[in-house]
Amino acid sequence: MRKIYSLLFITIIIFSYNIKSNAQPKLTISLTGGYGAPLGDFTQDIPTNERADADNFPYYTNKMWNIYGQGKLATGKSGNFRAVFGIGYNMFSNSTNAIFKADSTGTLVTTSFEPNVSVITVALGGEWAFLPKGKVNPYVGLDMALNFFGGDFTFGQPVYVKGAERTAPMDMKSETRVGLIFDGGVDFMVSKQIGINTGLNFNILNLIGKGADDEEEIGPNEIDLGDSEHTLDDGVTVSPSKTLTSINGYLGISFYFGAPKTTVKR
């Protein structure tokens, strides 16, 4: 993530001297890629002296990357406010070692473990552009996001999880949550058609819709997200409610459409 912050700082220095007035594009299409990390309840340390609990598999990630596309429609005479629609793909992952049961006898074994949690996001919201006619245009935004969870969990050798031997990856049970995206960035207009877009996102992925499925609702090879408070399989341990958050920097290209033609006064 430091690389993205450094690139953002350098880009601001390069372009900040040249803030000139330009025709405001009516529609901006932005395509970006980003790198970041899960935060808070969404990232837990894998135990080093005891068995990794299947209930926590979705929370053993430690990094993320994403690709994101946005359409921004400027409204009003000033063009400061923009209605925003976005769709993106986020991958939260880790590659490490963990302790598992080797078989039904309870013998423990250490092997490689790769948890992958994918989130497809569809978002709708608004954005405030501070200098919509400038070559350097900082902005802030807030989006409501519909998040579709999926993923898989891969083991380095056969292990015994949820009462059965697993010789292939286990699947993340599909879940849907509603969240918020807080966005801030800078759009640098390189030409009348193309610009450079960079910024930072903070995501709350499960503001609405938390849940924990009963065992009969979960497939034999599936792991549940289980982000609401619930009792584990042992009937004693209570898993607390979790708020899933993440942060990522991003960098990409903007395409401008519908800017009015300017005339030169003589």
Query: What percent of the chain stands above pLDDT 70?
Result: 88
Range of the domain at 228: 2-257
- CB of 225 within 8 A of CB of 244? no
- Closest by alpha carbon to 75, among 132, 26, 129? 26
At a CB cut-off of 8 Å and minimum separation 6, what does 171 contact? 150, 151, 152, 153, 219, 221, 222, 223
Is 94 part of any domain? Answer: yes
Q: How far apart are CA 122 and CA 225, in angstroms?
A: 19
More confident residue, 142 or 232: 142
Confidence of residue 237 (pLDDT cuts 50, 70, 90): confident
Q: What is the 3-state secondary structure (H, E, C) of the chain?
A: CHHHHHHHHHHHHHHCCCCCECCCCCEEEEEEEEEEEEEECCCCCCCCCCCCCHHHHHHCCCEEEEEEEEEEEECCCCCCEEEEEEEEEEEEECCEEEEEECCCCCCEEEEEEEEEEEEEEEEEEEEEECCCCECEEEEEEEEEEEEEEEEEEEECCCEEECCEEECCCEEECCEEEEEEEEEEEEEEECCCCEEEEEEEEEEEEEEECCCCCCHHHCCCCEECCCCCCEECCCCCCEECCCCEEEEEEEEEEEEEECCCCCCCCC
Average pLDDT across the chain, whole number: 90
263 belongs to a structural domain: no
| Residue 8 confidence (pLDDT) | 52
- Residue 192: is its pLDDT beyond 60? yes
pLDDT of residue 5: 52
Q: Do the domain assignments include residue 242?
A: yes
Q: Which of 2-11, 155-164, 197-206 has the lowest mean pLDDT?
A: 2-11
Number of folded domains that form the chain: 1
The β-bridge relationship of strands 170-172 and 222-223 is parallel
Q: Does the pLDDT at position 12 exceed 60?
A: no
Q: Give the CATH number of the domain where residue 88 resides.
A: 2.40.160.20
Q: Report the relative pairing of strands 136-155 and 170-172 from DSSP bridges.
A: antiparallel
More confident residue, 157 or 234: 157
Is 266 inside any structural domain? no
Q: Is 175 in contact with 125 (CB distance < 8 Å)?
A: no
The per-residue pLDDT for range 90-130, each reduced to its tens digit, is 999 999 999 999 999 999 999 999 999 999 999 999 999 99
Domain assignment present for 262:
no
Beta bridge partners of 7: none
Residue 72 belongs to some domain of the structure? yes
pLDDT of residue 236: 75
In a domain, 118, yes or no: yes
Per residue in 33-73, pLDDT (tens digit) is 999 999 999 999 999 999 999 999 999 999 999 999 999 99
